[in-house]
Copies of this chain bind each other. A is one copy, B any other.
Amino acid sequence: MGPQEVRSLLEGVRTGQIQVNDALEQLKQLPYDDLGYAKIDHHRHLRKGFPEVIFCQGKTTPQVAEIFQKLANASNANIIATRASEEMFKASQELVPEAQYHPLARMIYRRQINTPQQGLVCVCSAGTADLPVAEEAALTSELMGNRVERIYDTGVAGIHRLLDQVHKLHQANTIIVVAGMEGALPSVVGGLVSKPVIAVPTSVGYGASFHGLAALLGMLNSCASGVTVVNIDNGFGAGYAASLINRLVGDK
């Protein structure tokens, strides 16, 4: 309820068309209704371009399958379920035959034929063991309508492998950098290009990596400006954030 509606309400009170008590009730009821409306509208707007996402961890297989089916029936959009087991996929596929599964990224998804193609997202990863997280980021970006360039196995200990790919980095709108262990890759990438870099620490490592803490701290303390960070192993979150950025840019 905006100023216009409040003015109408007050005019109604003035002319006696609206009782004082009723007006009082309406004024009481409004705040979250109005905002709820705006929220819903916003959510609908959100959903237009981007699919809703099921976070499977902590859900049962039937729950996942049922939500997947519900979302699939509700629209033609791409559907994504992350951190999904193969068992969850099979249950989902029974209900939604066009469901697909990416075992490395542990994602179930339904892909539209005509997914729009926004600008380029580069996904770099440091080592082979970082691939599951990198693929989660890459597939999320693709399913959200971006072109994705994968630049894998470019750890900082062999810096020439990265330097060889710098031209690709320059072409991207946004760069997702996935690394475990010391998590130094985003700093190097962030120093090489002037694009937003989204750093994803992974739990790859052992000992004093403390399940990704070392990489996380490294990325938060990056000496390269323009690097922002998501949670450990949160490839989806990076892919989602990159898509939000790319959607701003549009067709550029």
Contacts and interface: CB of A to CB of B under 8 A. Distances in A.
Contact of A129 (B31, B58, B174): B58
B214 A39 contact: no
Interface in A176-213: 181-184, 187-188, 190-196, 198, 201, 203-213
Contact of A224 (B157, B170, B190, B233): B157
Contacts of A95: none
Given A13-B10, A196-B244, A57 B217 contact: no
A245 B45 contact: no
Given A38-B28, A223-B157, A184 B188 contact: yes
A170 B43 CA distance: 12
Given A220-B214, A229-B229, A230-B228, A37 B45 contact: no
A163 B231 CA distance: 27
Given A14-B14, A158-B39, A248-B252, A7 B31 contact: no
Contacts of A30: 34-35, 37
Which of A161, A212, A213, A226 has the most chain B CB atoms closer than 10 A to its own CB? A226
A92 to B, nearest CB: 16
Contact of A50 (B157, B173, B194): B194
A35 B34 contact: yes
Which of A32, A183, A216, A249 has the most chain B CB atoms closer than 10 A to its own CB? A32
Nearest to A63: B128
22 contacts: A3-B34, A7-B24, A10-B10, A10-B23, A28-B37, A32-B38, A39-B159, A42-B192, A50-B194, A53-B225, A155-B223, A182-B221, A182-B222, A184-B218, A205-B221, A207-B231, A214-B214, A214-B217, A217-B218, A227-B230, A228-B228, A249-B252
The 8 closest A-B pairs by CB, nearest first: A58-B129, A207-B232, A184-B184, A36-B160, A157-B191, A32-B163, A228-B228, A214-B217
Interface of A: 1-3, 6-7, 10-11, 13-14, 16, 20, 23-24, 27-32, 34-43, 45-46, 50, 53, 57-59, 63, 126-129, 155-161, 163-164, 166-167, 170, 173-174, 181-184, 187-188, 190-196, 198, 201, 203-234, 236-238, 240-241, 244-245, 247-250, 252
